[in-house]
Structure formats: C-alpha cells, structure tokens
Structure 1
Amino acid sequence: MPEGIIVKALSGYYYVRDDRGGPLVQCRARGIFKKRGESPLAGDRVTYEATENGEGTVNEILPRRSALIRPPVANADLAVLVFSVVHPDLNLQLLDKFLVHVEHAELDTVLVWTKNDRIPEGPEGAEARARVEEAKRMYTSIGYEVLVTSAREGVGVADVQQRLAGHIAVFAGQSGVGKSTLLNSLVPGLTLQTGEISEKLGRGKHTTRHVELVSLPGGGLVADTPGFSQLDFTELGIDEIGYCFREFRELSAGCKFRGGCTHIHEPGCAVRQALDEGRVAQSRYDHYKLFMTEWKEKPRRY
C-alpha cells in the first residue's frame, strides 16, 4: 500500500504527497478514525489507497514524533517564531509567551526577526537598532538562534533556508510581521497572500486560513499556520511555566526548594539570585511573573 505525507488538511479532505512522486492525491479518511476520536493532521505520514473516482482513502496514520493542537500539525520538529523589528515593533512579551508554548511542546526553535530594512534613519532608527541588538544578545545568551532578515532586500533569507533544510517547521508569530512575505522569498513562485498593516490598530489581519506544508527548494517542509488568536496557559501546570524558561530551568537545580520553587517569594532561590547579579534579564523575569499571574487568574478547563 502506498505511503505519503499529508501536506494539507482542508474541509475534510487530506492532500497526500506520495513518496514516489507525482501529483497530490485528494483523500478522505476512513470512518474508523472518527470512531476512535482521531483525526489526520498535516504532517502525518500515512498509508492510503486509490478509489474509483481518482481520489483516495487514508487507511492508517503511521506513528507520530509529535502532534501540536494549535496549530494542528504532526511531526513538526522546529518552530520558527517570526517577529518584526518595526511595524509592529518587536514585542518581547509576546515572544516570550510563544517561547513558553514552544518549549512545552519540546520543539527546537529559531527566532527570525523581519523588516530590518524598515528601521528608519536618524536618531530614532539608531535607538531602534540598539534595542534590536540588545534583544538579540539576550536571546542568544539564553541559547536561542536569532536570524535578522529583510525579505524585500533578500538579507538573511539564505540563512533561514539553510536552517529549515531537513525539518518540518512551524511558522508562527504575531500578525502583520511578514510571515507570508518571508515564505514567498523562501519559495520562488509561491504567492501566499500578504496582509496590510492597520495603522490604527498596529497589527495585520490574519491571511492564512488553514495549515499547509510548503516544500522548500533546499529540502524540508514548512507550515504556514493561521495566526494564533490567543495564547493561554491552561494546558500547563503552574510549575511548568518556569521550566519553559530555559535559563530558569538550568538555574532551578540550585534553588533551596527544588521542584517546588516558584522563583517569586521563596528564600534561597537561585533564579532571583541570578536576577540580582544580572545573569537573568529583567524583562524575562517580569514576563515570567506576568504569566504566572495570568495562570492563577485563568479559569481551569476540566
């Protein structure tokens, strides 16, 4: 029975790219999946069989390495968090929120900062560039790879292309930061719709309506995903938020109350000591406390 990968899931149809090549096969899923409460996802490796009408039926979902709920993608192993440095400005609080969810999903991460060419000249631009460089130094010191790009000028696009080779990557980030523009630069001939920024609201409209895996010329697949309408912490335990801050995770072994330190009020906290000594960024710690408060105030889902 032929095998392939689902590259698009839309309105009950699953578009399978056969390992042997050829055009995509439009498939329906067997009814047994619904009875089991299962649903094929973009990124799933599957077995399928052709039907008389020239379409196909997905028969089996092969074992997954990972499965994300938001966005619904299987077997992703790399998260590409795309944020612009201007229009809209680099939002470190939202970036840290994304990073918590990516760390919880146990995905590798690369940070791609777009629109570097849009930074204005003069004192205002110099200040913006200094903020970007300082943020890059901070996240690099934590262990994240940061690529600063300009899709319009082609700067950094080859670096992103090389980083994505061999991976199933999830593209995610704030609306209006240029995710589709960057993908259009990565894949010649791709014409994903790009959204205009609302000057009044300072954000863009979501332009992606379903998950679709796009093949990259250098190898690998990337999912251009719908923008996240919300990011909350209802799926995380309160102790998991600190674990999802990489630098906190490494330091927490030195806390007096190992395994139970919230890094907020306990004595002998290694994280707060590192904060006092300048080894933890104030912005990261402030965002952590904010997320912990949000967790406590968010109604639990049972």
Structure 2
Amino acid sequence: MINLTIGGVPEHFNYPWYVALKNKEFAKHNINLRWKDFPGGTGEMNTALRNSEIDIAIILTEGIIKDIGDGNPSKIVQTYVKSPLVWGIHVANNSSFQYVSDLEHAIIAISRFGSGSHLMAIVNAYNNGWDINKLQFKVVGDLEGGIEALKNGEAGYFMWEHFTTKPFVDDSTFRRIGNCPTPWPCFVIAVRNEVLEHHPEEIKAILNIINTKTATFKNIENIDIILSKRYQQKLEDVQKWLSITTWESENSISKELITEIQNKMIALSVIDSKANAQKLIKNMYI
C-alpha cells in the first residue's frame, strides 16, 4: 500500500474528500491517503508542496499557478471546483469604513504573500481602479489572524471566502461591505512532480474516486443539514452555497483553460508573465 498525504482548507468545499476517506474508498485501491488541514490556505499549502510535506493539494487556482511559475515543483492535474469563489471583503464591526471605495489606502490583512487573500486583494484593487503598487499588506497567517488584525486595528480589511466567514458576520465580529468573485474556476488539484513520475496510476485512481464522489455529492440525503452542523453555518447559507457551487467531473485540464486563466491574471496584474501551459499542467489521461 502506498502512503500519500493530501492537503486542503478545513472548509465545506472539501467535505467530499472526508466522505471518500471515511468510506475507505482509497484503501480499496491500496492507497493510504491521509488528509491534512491547512487553515492558512494556499500560501501554506504551496510551502508544504515545496517541502514535500504533502503530495497533493486542493488549492486555489491563482495561487498555485503563480507558485509553479515561481518554481514550485508541482503540476495541476485537474480542476476541482469549477465555479468561482466568492471572496467577502470584511472590516471590523466598529470600523469607520462603510464602502469598498473607502478602503483604497487601508492596510490589507493577508494570510501569506502568494495566497488567495493576497492575490484577490490585488484583483479587487484592480477592479476598483486603485494603484496596485501602493497596496499595503499585513501578514496574519489565517482566518483567526485576520480577526485579530482587524480587532486590534493592525489592518483595515480582510478578504476570505464569503460563506466560511458568514458566522463571523452574523455575530458582528466582521462587517462585510462587499464581495469579489474570482474570474476563473476557484480550486484545482495539484500534485508534486516526483509523485506524478513514480505513482501516476495511484493519482488516476484518486481522481476517479473524487470525481465520482463530487458528481453525486449534492444528492446525498440531508447534505445541507450535515454541512450546516459540521461547519456551524446557517442552513440557508449552506443551501445558497450549494446552489452556486459546481465541482469538476472531468479527469483532465486543458492548456487552453490554463492559458485563458493566465491571460486574465496578467490583465489583473496578479502575475507579471505567462508560463508555458505545459509547465503548469499534467494531463493524466493522454
């Protein structure tokens, strides 16, 4: 049996993996797949891939594209969630900021440089016509760090996934003053090159299992209630999230899609140059 470690954020997007692991579906293929939570998000996972701490990551598209371009020895093997991710723009509840336009010169709390919270802050600034070169950042590590930074006045705003942060909006820890959806599919599956070279059949098996699971995920009886309890979210919020979220059911990713995403990232000043798509992806089914 081969041992592999997969990383992802401890959020509702990744519950299909929990179900497959609980049912020991990977073990049936002689794969001991171990899950590791990364509350710090994409920047933390990029470091873990580079350090061989994990073999596979369920990771934000913009973050892994940028990091592979910067030397991360991994490749994207497929899209995981093909719908956009909705990023909430949050300020402290007692903040004087009322509108997104008020935030142009405010310090931005981010989990890490190269993370989704960092890159999407650039996208948001571009969308609002701000000077990206004048943005100021405060590294806070994760969602809890973002809460503290806004509470202590070390940062003016913090961007994180809309539904994950909704309980903190409901209890008045945060006040959400806007949203910023990603202009591309939000999550992809990335694998270290060494693992792709030595264990391609196991990776194919993992992809087949998770795609089968996500294809019927919304049909699981009472899945909205299950997610509401597990992630401590209101039932109506979970139902809305399920209605706008679409998982991938294909086992590959095209050069055309990656090129299209990179073109958008360059236009939005998220990356400076475009990498050859072949450097970024590995089609497991050719």
Q: TM-score range by the shorter chain?
A: under 0.3
Q: Give TM-score, length-normalised by structure 1.
A: 0.25
Where relative contact order (Cα < 8 A, 6+ residues apart) is larger, the structure is 2
Q: Which of the pair has more CA radius of gyration?
A: 1
User: Which structure dedicates a bigger proportion of its chain to helix?
Assistant: 2
